[in-house]
Chain A
Amino acid sequence: MIPALLAAAPALPLGEAGKYVAGAFCAFVAIVVIYVAIMAVRLQRMNRELDELSATLREREQAERAETTR
């Protein structure tokens, strides 16, 4: 599908100007991607904290249940 799209698309005049245009668009995309990556790292940290919290609460519940059955 992509080769067909490229064949149908008009030829872009990628001469000397092409590298600058590509650079500008890449800079834009790169900064957005870096930001999304930072957000992903923060999300992973929150997930880890949430897992720790769930595990602690589960242990506490099990201990309480064991105490009541005793």
Chain B
Amino acid sequence: MYGKGLRALSLATFAALTATFALVFFYAPLDADQGFIQKIFYVHVPVSIVTLCAYVVGAAFAALHLKTRDRKWDLRSYVVIHIALIFNIVGLLTGSIWAKASWGHWWVWDEPTLVSFLIVFLLFATYQPLRFSIEDPERQSRYASVFAIMAGAFVPLNFAAVRAASPFVHPRVFATSEGGLPGSMAFVFVCAIVAIGLLFALLVAYEIAAKQTRWKLRALRRRALGGEAVAPLGRSAAPSLGAPERPSAGTPPRAPRNPAEAAS
């Protein structure tokens, strides 16, 4: 059964997000320095933290794929990075909105935290085109795993380097020399991280369930209708889950891609 526990996870996510938003607006005190604009941090910071953690998790799954050669780890790595990219866009958008409200500019190029986050996004944005450019599923998954590990290792290094070298223009949310957040704000932040982490896990679970169901359906169609009745798979960035599809007797042979292939 695909998507086991999705209902419970969906309900937990909905409850956690609703409670967190209520806490953000009706419980968390207003920041003395920034005022109401600081409420953006309850979305922007947890989304960014979850995104960066997800990239590292994607790298760990990719390492497991290389170690075990089990396709399920490649699928998990792919889906985690895919959803993390979406969260990365949310992080960039909400950060940009906060920057406009606080600094008067949508984007500031000499702010290391912003630019490093954009670099991480652009780095992982190449993951899908890389997969798409490799036709052979086996090679695709191997090369993508190597890329995911290297890019995932870059994330904490990048974070630490920016943190060490930054002139501290970007606000530090959790730890400051003055003693950090007051208790009520810290509580709401933790709730927001949990809620957005749950949302991330839910979207990953949905995506994995959808992909597995689609492959199962495709395999059933091939079994029931015959290989030639089902349209051949086009090139895809998504990992293939089923057994390699051999052309059936009725399927015309593929045209050669280049003269060398035609000669062989």
Contacts and interface: CB of A to CB of B under 8 A. Distances in A.
Given A32-B199, A43-B210, A27 B36 contact: no
B89 A31 contact: yes
Contacts of B199: 32
Interface string A33-70: 00100010011001001100100110000000000000
Contacts of B43: 24-25, 28
Given A46-B214, A46-B217, A49-B221, A18 B36 contact: yes
B97 A20 contact: yes
Contact of A9 (B26, B89, B98, B203): B26
A22 to B, nearest CB: 10
A53 B37 contact: no
Contacts of B26: 9-10
A43 B40 CA distance: 33
Contacts of A3: none
Interface in B123-176: none
B224 A57 contact: yes
A13 B30 contact: yes
B100 interface: yes
A13 B40 CA distance: 14
B125 to A, nearest CB: 16
Contacts of B44: 24
Contacts of B37: 17, 20-21
Given A12-B25, A17-B35, A24 B210 contact: no
Interface residues of B, number: 33
Main secondary structure of the interface of A (DSSP, over half): helix
B90 A27 contact: yes
Nearest to A19: B101
Interface string B54-76: 00000000000000000000000
Interface string B20-59: 0100011000100001110110011001000000000000
Interface in B170-184: none
B86 A31 contact: yes
Given A35-B203, A53-B225, A24 B217 contact: no
B137 to A, nearest CB: 21
23 contacts: A13-B35, A16-B101, A20-B37, A21-B39, A21-B101, A23-B97, A24-B40, A24-B44, A24-B93, A24-B97, A25-B21, A27-B93, A28-B43, A31-B89, A32-B203, A39-B206, A39-B210, A42-B210, A46-B210, A46-B214, A53-B221, A53-B225, A57-B224
Given A49-B217, A53-B221, A53-B224, 17 more contacts: A9-B26, A12-B36, A13-B35, A20-B100, A24-B98, A25-B21, A25-B40, A31-B89, A31-B90, A32-B199, A35-B86, A39-B207, A43-B210, A49-B221, A50-B217, A53-B220, A56-B225
